[in-house]
Structure 1
Amino acid sequence: MYSRRTHRRTRTGLALVAAALLATACSAHGASTSASSASGASLAALPRATPPALSPYYGQKLSWRECGVPGFQCATMKAPLDYAEPAGGDVRLAVARKKATGPGKRLGSLLVNPGGPGGSAIGYLQQYAGIGYPEEVRARYDMVAVDPRGVARSEPVECLTGPAMDTYTQTDITPDDERETERLVDAYKTFAEGCGAKAPKLLRHVSTVEAARDMDLLRAVLGDERLNYVGASYGTFLGATYAGLFPDRTGRLVLDGAMDPSLPARRLNLEQTAGFETAFRSFAEDCVRQTDCPLGGRGTSPARVGENLSAFFQKLDARPLPTGDAAGRELTESLATTGVIAAMYDEGAWQQLREALGAATKKNDGAGLLALSDSYYERDPNGGYSNLMSANAAVNCLDLPAAFSTPDEVRDALPDFEKASPVFGEGLAWASLTCAYWPVQPSGEPHRIVAAGAAPIIVVGTTRDPATPYRWARALARQLSSGRLLTYDGDGHTAYGRGSTCVDSTINAYLLRGTVPPDGKRCS
């Protein structure tokens, strides 16, 4: 799940790449002492003592340099490719920071991660957190980010070229017959083969556990005794994993838009599908109160709005719309679905979605929905893609066994997914098939994270969050021995920095003074 606060708000990676729909639990790869073989088992802490083979990594010095954005410094940190065999080679991780501005006593480093998996933490730091977090937080902390292994500047996993990604994202994800099913499976296989061919070694070592262990290296290299951290969406899973592995080194952790690591992929995907339906119904209720709602007027029920949108998708399945795109792309059903889902992450995008749907349904102009889809996939105007979707699949397919192994399994599950979301269920069920063809076997299993002995951890859940359903935050807060649930009664994905004075002041007090809110506090 991906959280971002730049030109668009928070969102996950989805659709054909299926990635973010495989909301992950921790992988045990490279951390045998923490492995759990049965669902429901707990992630165990690593030994407190640093193994001698890792001492060179923990003792390294970073060489900081200016890196393009005024006020920010960058460096490269080495980590073992495989923590089980540290002598087997390195992976180089990009790190960035913005030093505390003062006044006030410096509180150490505050690591941030926007989620994904696959979101660039450095991009998030430079574009939002390092300039948009509350001034008093930036004054007391060095704001720090590391792009996880396989992501952005840290030896990125790349699967397909831009033109190939264009083809991939347009593939029909609601197959009507065996021929269309074969095309979809071929698309998944092509994507997976591309990843395996370009990063055969790295692909086995991009798990969440390994990324969490990299964060502990960074903590030590920065000279901090404890890790202070704000993670959003998938970043909550990464932060919780850190707490589970290193509870005695856990400082002030905020996990915003939380995931439940105890669930298998199929259950996670199904519950996320229901989350998107909840968000869409909220959008629908708002839409029919507006004068420009293209899916129904005042008095139209959310169910009818959904039926109208489904009918629109079915028309696109038969006849895509022109978009005026320089590459000749049309608005297909899959791209339109992605565009609608992209707008579910932030209620601030609802007007844009109404306008885009209006242009598509009334003027046969698909440009607006295509733009939403492109923003979701991080496709630039020249046809290039960030590695978000490649890294997303690489991490998710390593962290958990696949939700489905065959098309027949998807077909059997369709009734449950369509019940969870009449609008999105079919497409999201088929999108959950991606990891069935992954070239690397998963190394993780679903399990609980208790983090016994960790300092208080703030777990934030939004009641109508589309991508990380509210019940996941409740579940994670219950799992963590020191978890404290903070509820935001509202729409959109994640809560910190989204306009709630109650949420922001609660989190700021915790980060700055260590003030722990009462468990179950609610904000709006």
Structure 2
Amino acid sequence: MDLSRLLRTSGTVAAAAVLLISASAAGRATPAAAPAHDRDITGGYLAGADAARSLSPYYGQQLRWHSCGSGATGFECATMRVPLDYAMPRGGEIKLALSRQKATGARSRRLGSLLVNPGGPGGSAIDYLQRYAAKNYPASVRARYDLVAMDPRGVARSEPVTCLTDSEMDAYAQVEQTPHNQAEIRQLVAALKKFAAGCAAHSGRVLGHVSTVEAARDMDVLRGVLGDGKLHYIGASYGTFLGATYAGLFPSRVGRLVLDGALDPSLSAERANRDQAAGFQTAFASFARDCARQSDCPLGASGTAAMGGRLKSFLTGLDAHPLPTARSRPLTESLATTGVIAAMYDQDAWPTLRKALSLAMEGDGSVLLALSDAYYERDAHGSYSNLMAANAAVNCLDLPTAFHSPDDVRRAIPAFNKVSPVLGENLAWGGLSCAYWPTHATGRAHRITARGAAPILVVGTTRDPATPYPWARSLAHQLSSGRLLTYDGDGHTAYTRGSSCVDNAIDSYLLGTTTPPADQHCS
């Protein structure tokens, strides 16, 4: 329910929304040795010779690639073993799901493997590879790289965290996220506690071992098993934090890293949530300006503030009077708000949002509900992916909770509303989601410098709602070899989203034809 920290590429939301709305290694090199030296921002892991001995069985394993099946023609799949707990490598292991599409060009020109991650945390990298990257990444990149995806630990096919049944998830998604009285606050707290207890009951074995640090260490095992001396990687949204964490742990193993839609690892959870509130306000202002130019704009044409007030009033009204939909579930305030947030990720979804709001203001909540379902990854049969469960599990390990109690949230709401009159209160309450989590956070806010790493390309979009542009500037500055590519545009992330300037800059970097300049701008 912490929507503000649910971060993945816009394409994964928009593509799912379209579907829902329309329905209303041969030649592998010798495996690399286990690292003899690990840099770890959290401490507590084995180092030196002990690490090499304990992890060598994992770095030395042979992958057994096989056809993924008829639903994924042209892709190979495999599983990889990693330690459950890197502090105790012999204390148990988990299996991670992999997929790849081999390079389409001549073997002599192959540059290695290119690992992809769409964010989340909780987004399936395998789904992203098979449904998006393999179709939309430029042919020149696909010709020279094996595209490789690994569902991170706790996600999708990799020992997924589970918390609630599908029917329980339906109820959870409808709980009021901006409680207006003590009864609604009690309902929200009870829902958060039930969710957390379900995660502990169903996924207690892995729940304390799905942090970003552990996922980054898994990436290095995969690099070694694939026989690559350096890690080449494209991470979007939360995937930028995963990639930056890898660079901080293993700077000498950084190859070409693209961090698109960057997070700032130095921010506390509260600060990150508040920054996102400002980001979504910026995105709403862009939507409102575009909407005002359209004849079918349901919010009128009286300026951003008035249009925002009209939207907020409409959403608040759904608390007492949910709307009927074409499905059995009514459109509540919480579901409608989620639908609006989903459409902010991609300006291509703005016409759908205009239609959704127009229909809703006429009494039909079907399209807004479809947008919300796409965001939650709920299919037409009522089944949820484990996105929300994995998202909470990773977030609550990576950073201490933003707020410990409803009183903390209420004290913070004025600051959130100041930066986002439309969605500030919603994102403030989202910061309570880790307050009742059954495991303690193992991470903390910190700067990542990755001193000694090869040049790392950080991409920021000026009106990105989910990962505000200042985060990209900050990360590029923190990284000792960071290079900032700025896209003056709307939506979340920039690569393969329509800017030839952005695509050409990233492709040239990936293909090794240019070293990115310190500061490049595209529009």
* Common fold: TM-score over 0.5: yes
Name the aligned partner's letter for residue 460 of structure 1: V
2:64 equivalent to 1:60: no
Maintained 8 Å contact 1:36/1:447? no
- Equivalent runs, 1:98-497 vs 2, <5 Å: 98-103=101-106, 105-297=109-301, 300-325=302-327, 328-361=328-361, 363-497=362-496
2:100 equivalent to 1:76: no
In structure 2, how many angstroms separate the alpha carbons of the residues matched to 1:348 and 1:281?
A: 15
In structure 2, how many angstroms separate the alpha carbons of the residues matched to 1:112 and 1:303?
A: 39
Name the aligned partner's letter for residue 8 of structure 1: A
Name the aligned partner's letter for residue 99 of structure 2: A
Maintained 8 Å contact 1:54/1:86? yes
Name the SS for the 1:199 alignment partner.
helix
For each residue in 1:192-217, what CA deviation from the matched residue of structure 2 results, as whole angstroms up to 9, or x when unmatched? 00001111120000000000000000
2:19 equivalent to 1:2: no
Aligned to 2:26: none
In structure 1, how many angstroms separate the alpha carbons of the residues matched to 2:495 and 2:332?
A: 34
For each residue in 1:407-459, what CA deviation from the matched residue of structure 2 results, as whole angstroms up to 9, or x when unmatched? 00000001001111111111111111010000001101100000000000000
Relative CO higher for 1 or 2, CA cutoff 8 Å, sep ≥ 6?
A: 1
Q: Spell out structure 1 runs of 4+ moving beyond 3 A.
A: 43-50
With over 3 angstroms needed to count, the CA separation of the structure-2 counterparts of 1:376 and 1:262, relative to structure 1, is same
In structure 2, how many angstroms separate the alpha carbons of the residues matched to 1:194 and 1:32?
A: 35
Name the aligned partner's letter for residue 128 of structure 1: Y
TM-fit CA distance, 1:131: 2.2
For each residue in 1:466-522, what CA deviation from the matched residue of structure 2 results, as whole angstroms up to 9, or x when unmatched? 000000000000000000000000000000001101000000000012512211110
Q: Which runs of 5+ in 1 are unaligned?
A: 12-30, 38-42
For each residue in 1:366-395, what CA deviation from the matched residue of structure 2 results, as whole angstroms up to 9, or x when unmatched? 001000000000001111100001000000
For structure 1, which segment, 116-125 or 46-55, has the greater mean C-alpha deviation from structure 2 after superposition? 46-55
Name the SS for the 1:513 alignment partner.
coil
TM-fit CA distance, 1:7: 7.1
TM-fit CA distance, 1:8: 1.5
For each residue in 1:327-384, what CA deviation from the matched residue of structure 2 results, as whole angstroms up to 9, or x when unmatched? x2110000000000000000000000000100011x2000010000000000011111
Maintained 8 Å contact 1:232/1:258? yes
Of 20, 29, 35, which residue of structure 1 is paired with 2:41? 35
TM-fit CA distance, 1:324: 2.1
With over 3 angstroms needed to count, the CA separation of the structure-2 counterparts of 1:500 and 1:33, relative to structure 1, is closer
In structure 1, how many angstroms separate the alpha carbons of the residues matched to 2:46 and 2:426?
A: 38
Name the SS for the 1:428 alignment partner.
helix
Maintained 8 Å contact 1:4/1:114? no
Name the aligned partner's letter for residue 358 of structure 2: G
Maintained 8 Å contact 2:260/2:458? yes
Maintained 8 Å contact 1:10/1:346? no
- Equivalent runs, 1:493-512 vs 2, <5 Å: 493-512=492-511
In structure 2, how many angstroms separate the alpha carbons of the residues matched to 1:6 and 1:174?
A: 26
CA RMSD in angstroms, aligned pairs only: 1.9
Name the SS for the 2:14 alignment partner.
coil
Maintained 8 Å contact 2:38/2:250? no
In structure 2, how many angstroms separate the alpha carbons of the residues matched to 1:78 and 1:413?
A: 43
In structure 2, how many angstroms separate the alpha carbons of the residues matched to 1:32 and 1:159?
A: 33
Name the SS for the 2:326 alignment partner.
coil
Maintained 8 Å contact 1:46/1:245? no
Maintained 8 Å contact 1:452/1:480? yes
Name the aligned partner's letter for residue 349 of structure 1: A
In structure 2, how many angstroms separate the alpha carbons of the residues matched to 1:133 and 1:10?
A: 19
For each residue in 1:163-220, what CA deviation from the matched residue of structure 2 results, as whole angstroms up to 9, or x when unmatched? 1000000001111111110010000000000001111120000000000000000000
TM-fit CA distance, 1:401: 0.2
Maintained 8 Å contact 1:10/1:494? no
With over 3 angstroms needed to count, the CA separation of the structure-2 counterparts of 1:44 and 1:90, relative to structure 1, is closer
Maintained 8 Å contact 1:458/1:483? yes
TM-fit CA distance, 1:48: 9.7
In structure 1, how many angstroms separate the alpha carbons of the residues matched to 2:423 and 2:10?
A: 23
With over 3 angstroms needed to count, the CA separation of the structure-2 counterparts of 1:44 and 1:509, relative to structure 1, is farther
Name the aligned partner's letter for residue 309 of structure 1: L
In structure 1, how many angstroms separate the alpha carbons of the residues matched to 2:486 and 2:448?
A: 20
Name the aligned partner's letter for residue 91 of structure 2: G
Aligned to 1:95: 98
Name the SS for the 2:8 alignment partner.
coil
With over 3 angstroms needed to count, the CA separation of the structure-2 counterparts of 1:48 and 1:491, relative to structure 1, is farther
With over 3 angstroms needed to count, the CA separation of the structure-2 counterparts of 1:329 and 1:186, relative to structure 1, is same
In structure 2, how many angstroms separate the alpha carbons of the residues matched to 1:183 and 1:254?
A: 42
Name the aligned partner's letter for residue 92 of structure 1: K
Maintained 8 Å contact 2:251/2:452? yes
Aligned to 1:14: none
Name the aligned partner's letter for residue 142 of structure 1: D
Name the aligned partner's letter for residue 99 of structure 1: K
Maintained 8 Å contact 2:41/2:249? no
In structure 2, how many angstroms separate the alpha carbons of the residues matched to 1:461 and 1:55?
A: 38
Aligned to 2:22: none
TM-score, normalization: structure 1?
0.92
In structure 1, how many angstroms separate the alpha carbons of the residues matched to 2:452 and 2:137?
A: 29
Name the aligned partner's letter for residue 285 of structure 1: R
TM-fit CA distance, 1:317: 1.2
Name the aligned partner's letter for residue 335 of structure 2: L
**How many pairs are equivalent?**
495
Maintained 8 Å contact 1:107/1:140? yes
TM-score, normalization: structure 2?
0.92
Aligned to 1:19: none
Name the SS for the 1:443 alignment partner.
coil
